[in-house]
Amino acid sequence: MTITAAADGSALGNPGPAGWAWYIDEDRWDAGGWKHGTNNMGELKAVLELFHATSGVDDDLLVLCDSQYVINSVTKWMPGWKRKGWRKADGKPVMNVELLKELDEAIAGRRYRFEWVKGHVGHELNEAADERARAVATAYQRGAAIPSGPGFGVAPSPRPAQPALATPVDAAPRVAPPSLFDIADAASGTPGSRSVTVELPEDEWARLERRARRAGISPEQLLRELAARA
């Protein structure tokens, strides 16, 4: 079988509040972003997260993308960049190299192809991805809750932790999932504060960590926010 998905990015001001999204259908999509990023970062991240989300299935992947930069990066330029130590023909460093390195690892061994689609012409899947990426960027701009999706519905295959982006994007660094962690409703030691110890299975922790990463915060902070809304 072939999974057909659109991937798109959005940055208000470029650079500015930025979002990414991939979309298969109403039951399978996801989105996230940063307080500060570029459109190309969003485009790359959307494709990267699509590969991560679908890593647990053995299906072909058709990626619909309106970014020639992303398509050419993956299908044409990346092998040469790697041979040159992730530098371009003129010797200058490749932009967005951390995302590209992650993407290079994510596509290894996968069966996929890219198809360019023109953006903003009513293509159903592309419009759905664009709308969700823009919604995340707008939420960061307004300081609102970050909208995310249900994901793919299949647990992704384990993958090694990657270094944080060199370009500051105000995103929380990834942390190794412990079996136990503490959260507090207020600063530790202050009157009225309470400490709660939560034990989560590995799959639940991974889901929590992905949601926190999309929101640009730590898992602990996400738990505090969820507790505050309860």
Is 130 a catalytic site residue? yes
Annotated active-site residue 43? The verdict is: yes
Question: 58, 90, 109, 120: which is the annotated catalytic residue?
Answer: 120
Instruction: Please give the order of strands across the beta sheet that includes 16-25.
Output: 28-37, 16-25, 2-11, 60-65, 112-116
| 66 catalytic residue (yes or no) | yes
Catalytic residue among 30, 66, 102, 209: 66
Active-site residue among 19, 36, 42, 43? 43
* Catalytic hit among 30, 49, 102, 130: 130
State yes or no: is 8 an active-site residue: yes
Residues with active-site annotation: 8-9, 43, 66, 120, 130
